[in-house]
A and B are shown apart, each in its own frame.
Chain A
Amino acid sequence: MSSLPNRLPDSSGSGGHRASRNLFFSLMCLLLLTSPDFSQLPASLPQKEIFTDVTEQAHIRWLQFSGESPDRFLIETMGGGVAFLDFDGDGLQDLFFVNGGETPHGKSLSPVHNALYRNLGNGEFEDVSAKAGVDRVDFYGMGVAVGDFDNDGFPDIYITGYPASALFHNNGKGTFTDVTDRAGVKNAGRWAASAAWFDFDRDGYLDLIVTNYARFSFDDIRTCELNGQHTYCEQKSYAGMPLTLYHNNGDGTFTDVSEKSGLAKLVGRALGVVTIDVNGDGWPDLFVARDASPNLLLINKQNGTFEDTALDAEVAYDPQGAPKSGMGIDAGDVNGDGKPDFVVTNFNDEYHSLFVSTSSPLYTDQSVPSHLAAYTKSFVGWGTHFIDYDNDGNLDLLIVNGHINQVIESTRVDVKYQEPPLLLHNEGKGVFRDMREQAGAAFHSGHRARGLAVGDFDNDGGVDAVFTRLDGKPVLLHNNVGGGRPWVGFDLQGTKSNRDAIGAKITIQVGKRKLVRWVTGGASYLSSHDKRVVVGIPGDTTPAALDAEILWPNGTVQRLAGLKLKRYNKIVEPTRNDLRMQKR
């Protein structure tokens, strides 16, 4: 442009002038035609999307079957568990999907089966369900909890459902055996939802907490209408159920200690559970999300019993004293104070809840100040998990949503039947920002999403995710950004503690910041997650190595120095004699 004349030549002049003008105009046209429109150029280069839907590339073709029928059984709207697990011990996270099932008038053209997808390591997965022997159960499937209950190094699978649940022991050779009856964990007659493995008595064996939802039967056909159409009855019309707690006897059998533990009297519609040490006494506690029943904050009394402190802790009800419709739940330190906070997903108009640990009361509802309320008012939330997707050291939040009522859009203008997931970036101290624009295509469309699991399936340090959809294919999301920042991974193995190290607490100091993470049991909705812990390193300068402190579930404290970044550090629980600084 600078080579062009500053002034047009006089057009009334000679043909030479005209020629100059024509040249000028020609050059202008050329520029206009070939140059980009400068006003439309972005201020910076376009960013890659945070998550990419790689379901197709991964060859995941399984379909969830809800059994949707004219009878409108509530269970049809509620299934969809999913798990990340390394079932064959090859260091790669595999996937397990729990299917729903047929209902009396909701039949499938082909057999309804669960799916176990083996990670081939190249971004692709292979369906090995039938070979593995976990593809069929004789009940309507709901959720999954993965845990190594016999500490043999291979994760086992507990599938929840109605009117039974099942435990599949991992034989270690790529196959599973149904050991439900022998183990005594059938939970017969109940509609079970989420389950979680945790060692409540710290004897080194994983026990099992099962949330039961509601009194239900396929013989109990109800007629509820909305806008003249037969639809699902609201959950309050179904009576709640007590929790089930199984104690692991250490010999492949379990004992139902629901009564003894005090949990049997806590009747309500329980859907989500996470196990974590709430009060810092080293013993695992439970937060149970319940649907139109008050949430439970069950503090481990260290004697085999639990005490519900939800009311005093101000997490049971909303500020008006009404129970919300709690479905999914997760725990994590969202504001960096070293104490666990909780997120619970709820129904539309209730907004999802963020309970942040304070001193008095024990928790404060920060849903509004965190902006979570603003982002979630119109959504029905299910699976949820804290993940540091960008590895900046702050826990972000992933939530999947979807309504249950097909006719909702005929009665409301602001609530949709299919709803997009939410990726919320933690700006610091637990204040969130919606990352919808950059999150990826999957976040721009609506789904009937239910289960959500997180895990690093390509071991690049970017925590990936997968969510299920009713009567649809799941969505596997690859994290494109996390691996680009410094991170440190922990792959813990208990020896005296349970082998999965569920209940372990990891503390890292990075400059002035203390980062605390836990290996939790349960979390999200009906789902189970990669047991490894990825901790993003905040700040602009990257340390060459890091020190960490691990509080093992049995109470052992281990201090580690020189942990390498951008890799998973395999850490085995030391014996008493090994408790010294270990250079790695």
Chain B
Amino acid sequence: MSTTITRAHKAWCANRLTLCLCVIALLVVPGFPASLYKIAPNVPQESEAETHLDQGLALAKLGNLASAEAELRKAVALAPANADYLDDLATILAMEKKFDESNSYFQHALKIDPRDMAARRYLAANLWQTGRYTEARQNLQILLKANPSDAQALLLLGMVAENTRDYSTAARALASVPSLVRARPESIAALARSYYYLGERSKACAWLDELQNHAAGVRAVLLGAQIADEMKDYKTAERLLSSAMPHYSDQTELRYRLALVKFHAQQFDESEQILEQMRNDGYMTSEIDHLLALCFQKQERYEEAIHALQEAMQLDPGNEASYLDLVGILLTQKQIPPAIELAQHMAKVFPDSCPVFVSKGKIELAASDYTGAVASFTRASQLDSTSLEASLGLARAQSNAGMTVQAKSTLIDAIARFSKKAPFELELGQLLLREADAGDKGAEVKAEQLFDAAVSHDSKLAKAYYELGGLALRRGEAGRAATLLEKAEKLDPLSAKTHFALSRAYRRLGREQEAAQQVALFDKLKNRSAE
């Protein structure tokens, strides 16, 4: 094994970090300036392996990564214990996005030379890139133990921590390398988001303001506005977008994002105005029409919403979201026949879309076509077995169609499969309660156990508390019923049936005034949409 490091190789190594970070930049930020991508200069041949190495590096410089890879594989084959060769091959593989194989070569290099901090740094970058945050963090911690002021490692640690929602570590790490953070919009975004989560809003805003005049241009501004929007800091989002507008000739994206921010801020009329102005200015896109439709929907102008969505669909017939939103509006407006027609059309246009078949199933449930709903939800589940909505919808449709055995089986399977079990436990409990009504005494006990399980998995599941309260009421345990129903009421104060049940509990406890108050709330809420 050669331990000699050629001059060219050293230069190559020095640039590899930059290269790796460029890889990160290239992968995260498409279109990043190619001038940042540098390759080491040519070196004289010293051995056959080195010859292959040099050829590989030259090919990499020319952008011929596949051939560079082939040369470096030969170099590694000839000198399999040479950590540097392993590092170089791993780097090329990373540039080709063959991260798993790249990682294995970096790890191999580190086995040979555990003190190779560069390799460890690159490995950490790879792991971060592929979402293996725990392992990335472990490697970064080794780096920082060796050199607490390793700037690149701190930058990467900040990014990894932010991805894993460890915002305090993220903020600390990123804030310690401000120049590196400042250079990259994604790093600024990560730091700002961390500050938001830590409640340090002013710091977050200050960093987002850095994006206003960033070299990355409008993309940076949009990213900053997106972060602020996500964190519900609509004023900052608006400010970023508005301040950027005079500086860009093409303001389409900025105006659209501003309308989106206004929508999120529930300023639906203002959002509508921006979008209408864009249309008047000749910008006819399905995104604009779609967002306009949502603005109309929020203002309960349903016919206009329907019309806007139809226009969005015409402009972009392949945009599934428009169909889904239109079906949703038709359903809430109880326009069932056109909803059915649209759902059937959707199923033909998007035959492999789980959300489409879920939507179709919901329409069929609303139309009492339960066997049709079973077919739709079955298809949805086949398309995406991880879809909670599809599984839950299927169980519900089966139950409504009288296919009780199948419904139970679907729910039992879902409880085993899904980590979010509570909705299925609730549904199965309700099904068993219906069986209890039909005479199965054991079913009531099992139902109660399921409701208890549901609240243990989701303490905010109002409906489960409601069912438990109902069970207590029918057993004559008015006090316990009241306690459970009060919990349900707190979690869902708009539930008419909870107020109704609570009024009965209070009445049985002799609390007539409270019972009357609950009845009044029930009367007020009962004509709202069906629960």
Contacts and interface: CB of A to CB of B under 8 A. Distances in A.
Contact of B337 (A225, A320, A351, A367): A225
B496 A412 contact: no
Given A320-B500, A412-B401, A413-B402, A377 B437 contact: yes
B504 A314 contact: yes
B296 interface: no
Contacts of B370: 411-412
A374 B438 contact: yes
Contact of A373 (B438, B470, B500): B438
- Counting chain A CB atoms within 10 Å of each CB, the highest count among B404, B438, B497 belongs to B438
Contact of A378 (B369, B371, B402): B402
Nearest to A360: B508
Contact of B368 (A226, A311, A360, A361): A226
A361 B437 contact: no
A404 B504 CA distance: 33
B522 interface: yes
A317 B499 CA distance: 13
Contact of B369 (A311, A320, A411): A411
Contacts of A12: none
Contacts of A371: 439
Interface in A401-452: 410-415
Contacts of A378: 402
From A311, A312, A321, A373, residue with most partner B Cβ within 10 Å: A321
A412 B370 CA distance: 6
A319 B401 contact: no
B201 interface: no
A373 B501 contact: no
Contact of B437 (A225, A314, A351): A351
A130 interface: no
Given A373-B437, A413-B403, A226 B504 contact: no
B372 A411 contact: yes
Interface string B489-515: 000000011011100100110000000
A361 B522 CA distance: 19
B367 interface: yes
Contacts of B522: 321
A411 B501 contact: no
B507 A368 contact: no
B454 interface: no
A210 to B, nearest CB: 27
B474 interface: yes
Contact of A223 (B337, B400, B436): B337
B500 A227 contact: no
Interface residues of B, number: 33
Contacts of A27: none
Majority DSSP secondary structure for residues of A touching B: loop
Interface in B363-385: 367-372
Given A351-B437, A411-B401, A311 B519 contact: yes
A482 B324 CA distance: 62
B340 interface: yes
B402 A415 contact: yes
Nearest to A316: B500
B172 interface: no
A227 B522 CA distance: 34
Interface string A310-326: 01101001011110000
Interface string B13-51: 000000000000000000000000000000000000000
Contacts of A415: 402
B439 A321 contact: no
B460 interface: no
Nearest to A321: B500
Contact of A319 (B403, B438, B470): B470
Given A223-B337, A321-B526, A413 B437 contact: no
A374 B439 contact: yes
Contacts, number: 72
A462 to B, nearest CB: 30
A254 B190 CA distance: 83
Contacts of B367: 225-226
Contacts of A317: 500
A140 B374 CA distance: 40
Nearest to A415: B402
A371 B437 CA distance: 8
Interface string B412-446: 00000000000000000000001011110000000
Given A319-B501, A368-B437, A377-B438, A411 B368 contact: yes
A227 B402 contact: no
A26 to B, nearest CB: 54
Contacts of A411: 368-372, 401
A577 to B, nearest CB: 47
Contacts of A410: 371
A269 to B, nearest CB: 15
B402 A412 contact: yes
Given A368-B436, A374-B437, A322 B371 contact: no
Nearest to B500: A321
B437 A322 contact: no
A226 B439 CA distance: 31
Contacts of A320: 470, 497, 500-501
A371 B436 CA distance: 11
Interface in B336-354: 336-337, 340
Nearest to B530: A322
A226 B470 CA distance: 33
A227 B401 CA distance: 13
Given A319-B474, A374-B437, A413-B401, A312 B507 contact: yes
Contacts of B496: 321
Given A321-B526, A412-B401, A415-B402, A226 B369 contact: yes
Contacts of B438: 373-374, 377
A223 B340 CA distance: 14
User: Which of B370, B434, B526 has most chain A Cβ within 10 Å?
Assistant: B370
A320 B503 CA distance: 11
B497 A322 contact: yes
Contact of B372 (A227, A360, A368): A227
Interface string B32-76: 000000000000000000000000000000000000000000000
A413 B407 CA distance: 13
Nearest to A322: B497
A431 to B, nearest CB: 11
Contacts of A225: 336-337, 340, 367
Interface in A172-231: 223, 225-227
Contacts of B404: 414
A320 B401 CA distance: 21
A368 B507 CA distance: 22
B442 to A, nearest CB: 14
A412 B372 CA distance: 10
5 contacts: A227-B372, A312-B507, A319-B473, A321-B500, A361-B507
Given A373-B438, A373-B439, A411-B370, 12 more contacts: A225-B336, A225-B340, A226-B367, A311-B519, A319-B473, A321-B499, A322-B497, A361-B507, A367-B437, A373-B437, A377-B437, A411-B368
Give 5 nearest A-B pairs by CB, closest first: A414-B402, A321-B500, A374-B439, A321-B497, A374-B438
